[in-house]
């Protein structure tokens, strides 16, 4: 849901392996911020488009906490890959969340001023 902030992690290549019909790089990333809620993440990137295929989140005790899985990637405007569905499973509570997306639109003319607190709270 947010852009990946590359500079906030250290990285280590673990292995290359299949993930579904794709070949994936498996990378461990550890947060630089010592107060992060996660000790590490293991990320599967497809080797063709570098789209995230899965992320495993580990808690401060190094136990698997959550798994994020996007699916149904489509390319928009010949350059933006977006998933049609996203799933997050909390392995410790058994709860999960599924998000379904449709009708992505790019180049709609919105600017930074459209996302200020005032702009987002006003009613038209």
pLDDT band at 4 (very low <50, low <70, confident <90, very high): confident
Burial 66-91 (b: 16+ CB within 10 A, else e): bbbbbeeeeeeeeeeeebeebbbbee
The average pLDDT across 57-82 equals 95
Q: What is the pLDDT of residue 62?
A: 96
**Is the predicted pLDDT of residue 1 greater than 90, yes or no?**
no
**Secondary structure of residue 13 in the 3-state scheme:** strand
pLDDT band at 3 (very low <50, low <70, confident <90, very high): low
C-alpha span between 118 and 62 (Å, rounded): 41
Which sequence spans correspond to the domains of the chain?
6-121
The answer to whether the beta carbons of residues 83 and 71 sit under 8 Å apart is: yes
pLDDT 10s digits, 24-33: 999 999 999 9
DSSP 48: T
The average pLDDT across 65-82 equals 95
CATH entry 3.90.1150.10 includes domain 6-121:
no
pLDDT band at 119 (very low <50, low <70, confident <90, very high): confident
Instruction: Region of 106 please: left (phi>0), alpha (psi -120 to 50) or beta.
Output: beta
Indicate the pTM of the whole model: 0.86
Q: What is the pLDDT of residue 25?
A: 98
Q: Output the average pLDDT for the chain.
A: 93
Q: Which residues, listed in sequence order, are joined to residue 18 by a DSSP beta bridge?
A: 23
Q: Give the distance, in angstroms, between the CA of residue 28 and the centroid of all CA atoms in the same chain.
A: 14
């Amino acid at each position: 849901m947010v852009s990946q902030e590359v500079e906030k992690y250290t990285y280590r290549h673990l292995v290359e392996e299949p993930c579904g019909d794709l070949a994936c790089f498996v990378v461990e990333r550890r947060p630089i911020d010592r107060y992060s809620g996660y000790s590490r993440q293991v990320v599967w990137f497809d080797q063709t488009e570098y789209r995230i295929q899965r992320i495993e989140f580990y808690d401060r005790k190094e136990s698997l906490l959550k798994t994020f899985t996007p699916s149904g990637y489509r390319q928009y405007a010949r350059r933006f890959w977006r998933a049609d569905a996203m799933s997050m499973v909390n392995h410790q509570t058994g709860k999960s969340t599924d998000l379904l997306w449709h009708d992505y639109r790019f180049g709609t003319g919105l600017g930074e001023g459209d996302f200020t607190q005032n702009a987002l709270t006003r009613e038209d």
